[in-house]
Amino acid sequence: MGRRRSTEKANPQFHLISILDCELAGARFSMQEINLLQYMSEPRTSSDQIQPQRLGRSYALYWAGSLSVAIGLWVQRLTVAWLAWEMTGSGFWLGLIATADLLPSVALGPVAGIFADRLDRKRLTLLCQSSNVALVLVLAIFISDGHIDRYWLLAFAVLNGLISGVQQPVRMSLTATLVSKPQIARAVTLMSINAHAGRFAGPIIVGPILAFGETSHAFLAAAGLYGAMIVLLPFIRVGDNSRDLTEWKGFRNEFSVGIRFATMNSAVSPVIWSFLLLSVFGRPIFELLPGLADGIFREGASGFSWLAGAVGAGTIAACLWLAHRPDARCTLGAVINHIFLFGASALALSVAPNFWTAVGLATVAAFTATAATIATVAVIQLSVPDDIRGRVLGIYGALYRAAPAVGAIAMGWISDITSLRWPIAIGAVVCIVWWLVMHFAKPRLAQAQEADAD
């Protein structure tokens, strides 16, 4: 410890790279975020309930690279969507290309978890990022030469989905190897900020490029953002030596090990099943916001903007709140309680008497849904052995992408028959009922966990 402190004093660049030990002082934050990051980096007294330690230089670099990748992903997605609309003018093709990007990653995620467990995660990350850069550069060249059509764009979406399917479990597994086990919940919580920051920053970057430049320039920007991770990876030290890999017993057996652990382990399976229920019956309500704004409250596009902004605010607030005390807020009990609060706020949203009440309730619903999602990942990271972490996280990733899509289709169908309020209310009631079921199952779950521990 003394050597490290002297190194930091002697080398100010080391202290700068630590970036408040991954709390990312290099980015622009609101005062609330800056105060939180200062609180997390300051030494604690004995009266504090937690004593967070610094997350380290490697995590800081990986966080910065992941943020750049997240922004690049949204630059790419928005540009592909715009290009598809510009070329076809068809809503069907927009949906088809979006599905072509989604389905391969859903199907490949659980399988790719085997690669994340068996192979070098750092090298796999380098391979995925290099593939991303090559793919967008090829597409930029095709656009510049005028050799692009809707079918090439569809093929690009499929290839990108395949890369994303491999990358997701590798990326999530790598996070836990950069910090010690007591720091995992905090590291996961801070990493969750990236996806939402990318969703916010992507349109800011791609909008002016598409308005005043060439479409190919947007893909060049995405390539540069992806390339940041490639530059940073050599300086990231990965501590995944704890993996105790068993003898290879065939692909089917390797795959089934992850499935059995995710669905039968007493610590992980309740969280997985709870997250699945929330994803099918809860998270799809955010896909109904346009209809809620215009079809129910007659507020049009401006109303939808307010609701979307409220959801974004609730999401960011949940990330910051969890980062404050992740050890106490990322547990199975917290997941279940968040699901109950989500169900209560969604049920109130379904009968909201006016638009501004709906905006407030949408903020609460987004906060609780995000908190449950982040807590789910943290519990998985803490509970799953490193040698099968990739497979379990691959299953989580597939559920994260596919389950809301299934729920959205069902809710949309119900809303066409009745009204938008009914599917929201039904999903909310299911979440509340699940909370009751898990509440009465707590003693049995506790006994099962004690038996597994013995």
Q: 220, 235, 250 — which closes off a domain?
A: 235
Per-residue pLDDT, averaged over 275-301, amounts to: 86
Q: For residues 318 and 385, state if they share a domain.
A: yes
Structure tokens at 33: 């975020």
Domain count, the chain: 2
Task: Say if 92 falls within a structural domain.
Answer: yes
| Within-domain flag for 16 | no
Q: When comparing pLDDT for 324 and 313, which is higher? A: 313
Q: How far apart are CA 260 and CA 19, in angstroms?
A: 39
- Examine the pLDDT at 225 and tell me if it is beyond 80: yes
CATH number at 421 reads: 1.20.1250.20
User: Do 419 and 280 have their domain in common?
Assistant: yes
Q: Same domain for 436 and 397?
A: yes
Band the pLDDT of 420: cuts 50, 70, 90.
confident
If you average pLDDT over every residue of the chain, what do you get? 81
Render pLDDT for 370-395 as a digit per residue (tens, 0 to 9).
999 999 998 998 888 888 888 999 99
Domain match, 298 and 227 both: no
In a domain, 136, yes or no: yes
What pTM, to 2 d.p., does this model score? 0.74
Does residue 29 lie within any of the structural domains? no
**Domain boundary, last residue among 235, 250, 283:** 235
What count of residues does the chain have? 454
Do 158 and 107 lie in one domain? The reply is yes
Regarding whether 195 and 70 lie in a shared domain, the answer is yes
- 169 and 218 in a single domain? The answer is yes
Higher-pLDDT residue of 223 and 86 is 223
**Which residues constitute the domain of residue 376?**
258-453
Distances (CA, A) of 406 to 50, 58, 285, 299: 40, 38, 12, 27
Given a cut of 70, whether residue 81 has pLDDT beyond it is yes
Are 118 and 181 members of one domain? yes
Whether 150 and 271 map to the same domain: the answer is no
Top-confidence residue, 46 or 133: 133
Shared domain check, 217 and 281 = no
Could you tell me if residue 286 is inside a domain? Answer: yes
* Residue 214 identity (one-letter amino acid): E
User: Is 346 in the same domain as 223?
Assistant: no
80 in Cβ contact with 203 (< 8 Å): no
Among 235, 269, 284, the domain-final residue is: 235
What percentage of residues in the chain have a pLDDT greater than 90? 30
| 83, part of any domain | yes
| Residue with the larger pLDDT of the pair 23 and 257 | 257
Going by C-alpha positions, the residue among 280, 307, 279, 288 that lies closest to residue 416 is: 288
